[in-house]
A and B are shown apart, each in its own frame.
Chain A
């Protein structure tokens, strides 16, 4: 047996799901005896059979990936409950094993996968999907790239209708449920629960379940952003969301404003004030970065100010 054959055979066995009592499956996916398969390439020793030695790796694999997914999607786990979350995780990881060198990316296909496997999140599929989107956005916002800030006073003097670039780490989410509040509440419960007795923990679980059941649909427009290296959730108005999303898509200032205020009867003077207040707020949070290739006028404007 050559290196490639051993690696195929071992990885197949290692990634095969565990039994319900967390043991290695007695049969391979194609129905062969796992004892026979293990014995073909792994030596037994005086304490462990080939099967048992292979099982150590099988268990390590599943414990590791399941723990990583649980760590990243605690909100989803709270919504559907630990047992269903375990089943969902197992099914997801069978269909979508890691294709990245880092466990950070383990959940990158979870939203996509859940859309074609809604049975795992029914009857609260919309709520669960919103939560998954939020939890993935948080991961992206945590370690996404940050570019030099567009500092106050910088502007494209030659461009009457400029385009603005958002920081790459910023995530924009249009949600059907207020899952931002729910996630923060779940985290608070978890953190309080670490210091609580079993009885109190049980009561907390029940309170959390009722909190989830009580969730009512509510349109939320959310920016997941970073300030001083911590991730925050900031709700914005619908118009502001349309506007900032248009800027992210590369639309000009005026095109973004048209999209944001389409069908709204707002006087131009007031509209200008609204946009200015958005810019003031978002700039103070460091959401804009410098243009990719500053033109001469841009450089000149900086020089004039310095």
Chain B
């Protein structure tokens, strides 16, 4: 199921996040990279260097947009200015699908700039799915929602996180950006078996997979994207692609960013699991 309606029937391989410290290397060395993921908000501007660099990247590479502030789960309606700017960027990048997080982060127009966790209730699922549909109708592009790392759970939750994710994507008829690092982080923070999560999501809706590193503290794990991917996360990745097929895969590295080669090589480790999965199947 690599190509499906939720990733625009594309067949992308392993990519990495486009980050400022790598701009110069990418533009001068033109390395072979299957695709780049960009943070939409970094380019939802009127002009200047970021858009100039993006245009050069677009001439040579495939780009998929990933957002951090649509806040599908916020109770308030989507911000119209945000949507208009996002649509302009979608036209520029021709992204085959667009992703953002299954979370909330704003109330009454005040923004936290964080990915805050959802209460897993049917009411929240209904409201979130409705907003995803509205955004998709406005942008006219497939949307996939990403499970976030979380550090808190709510008394009012009526289901597990993976049941909530399933409920939302079925109601919205949208895709999933399955972040296996986030599953691992949340599983350690909330004491569940991460394989139950991977096995519990509708595999046919997985449009893309995220892999990343994280930081361990004494009493919890924080999703910091500043380390290589650890073995237990690779195991979850292997199981995810076993279920979903050879799906577009993206390594996120956002802090203490090493050289381009180091980040790319870390991402390319995914190919080993893809090859093993293909042999096994």
Say yes or no: A11-B151 contact (C-beta < 8 A), given A45-B191, A103-B113: no
B60-112, CB < 8 A from A: 69, 73-75, 79, 81-82, 104, 106-107, 109-112
Contact of B17 with A by CB under 8 A:
no
Q: Give the residue name and chain of the B residue nearest to A43 (CB).
A: B153
A145 and B69 form a contact (CB under 8 A): no
Interface centre among A6, A56, A101, A146 (most CB of B within 10 A): A101
Closest CB of chain A to B263's CB: distance in Å?
Answer: 22
Convert B149-181 into 0s and 1s, putting 1 for each residue whose CB lies closer than 8 angstroms to a CB of A: 001111110000000000000000000000000
Say yes or no: A226-B156 contact (C-beta < 8 A), given A11-B110, A103-B113: no
Interface-lining segment among A57-65, A79-87, A179-187, A278-286: A57-65
A145 and B104 form a contact (CB under 8 A): no
A residues near B41, Cβ cutoff 8 Å: 101-102
A40 to B75, CA, bound (A): 20
Closest CB of chain A to B224's CB: distance in Å?
Answer: 11
Contact of A230 with B by CB under 8 A:
yes
A169 to B116, CA, bound (A): 34
Contact of B29 with A by CB under 8 A:
no
Closest CB of chain A to B169's CB: distance in Å?
Answer: 18
A143 and B46 form a contact (CB under 8 A): yes
B residues near A101, Cβ cutoff 8 Å: 41, 44, 69, 79, 81-82, 111
B151 and A56 form a contact (CB under 8 A): yes
B183-209, CB < 8 A from A: 189-191
Contact of B269 with A by CB under 8 A:
no
Contact of B58 with A by CB under 8 A:
no
B48 and A142 form a contact (CB under 8 A): yes
Contact of A2 with B by CB under 8 A:
yes
Q: Which of A11, A53, A145, A229 has a CB less than 8 Å from the CB of B52?
A: A229
Q: Give the residue name and chain of the A residue nearest to B73 (CB).
A: A3
A residues near B123, Cβ cutoff 8 Å: 2-3
Total number of A residues with any Cβ neighbor in B under 8 Å: 48
Convert A147-191 into 0s and 1s, putting 1 for each residue whose CB lies closer than 8 angstroms to a CB of B: 000000000000000000000110000000000000000000000
Closest CB of chain A to B182's CB: distance in Å?
Answer: 15
Contact of A118 with B by CB under 8 A:
no
Q: Which of A47, A100, A168 has a CB less than 8 Å from the CB of B220?
A: A47
B residues near A26, Cβ cutoff 8 Å: none
Convert A100-115 into 0s and 1s, putting 1 for each residue whose CB lies closer than 8 angstroms to a CB of B: 1111100000000000
Q: Give the residue name and chain of the B residue nearest to A4 (CB).
A: B75
Say yes or no: A57-B111 contact (C-beta < 8 A), given A7-B75, A47-B219, A142-B48: no
Closest CB of chain A to B52's CB: distance in Å?
Answer: 5
Contact of B256 with A by CB under 8 A:
no
A residues near B82, Cβ cutoff 8 Å: 101
A7 to B48, CA, bound (A): 36
B48 and A143 form a contact (CB under 8 A): yes
A10 to B117, CA, bound (A): 10
A3 and B127 form a contact (CB under 8 A): yes
A267 to B190, CA, bound (A): 81
Closest CB of chain A to B28's CB: distance in Å?
Answer: 16
Closest CB of chain A to B65's CB: distance in Å?
Answer: 14
Q: Give the residue name and chain of the A residue nearest to B68 (CB).
A: A101
Closest CB of chain B to A5's CB: distance in Å?
Answer: 9
A8 and B107 form a contact (CB under 8 A): yes
Say yes or no: A168-B152 contact (C-beta < 8 A), given A64-B113, A99-B110: no
A181 to B190, CA, bound (A): 53
Say yes or no: A57-B48 contact (C-beta < 8 A), given A41-B154, A41-B156, A99-B110: no
Closest CB of chain A to B153's CB: distance in Å?
Answer: 5
Contact of A129 with B by CB under 8 A:
no
B152 and A57 form a contact (CB under 8 A): yes
B residues near A226, Cβ cutoff 8 Å: 48
Closest CB of chain A to B62's CB: distance in Å?
Answer: 24
A145 and B47 form a contact (CB under 8 A): yes
CB pairs A–B below 8 angstroms (23 shown):
A3-B73, A3-B75, A6-B154, A7-B116, A8-B107, A40-B155, A41-B154, A41-B155, A43-B152, A57-B151, A61-B114, A98-B111, A98-B112, A100-B111, A101-B69, A101-B81, A102-B41, A102-B69, A143-B49, A144-B46, A145-B46, A226-B48, A229-B48
B residues contacting A by CB (< 8 A) are: 41, 44-52, 69, 73-75, 79, 81-82, 104, 106-107, 109-114, 116, 119, 121, 123-124, 127, 151-156, 189-191, 219-220, 222
What 5 A-B pairs have minimum CB-CB distances, sorted nearest first? A145-B46, A229-B49, A143-B48, A143-B45, A53-B152
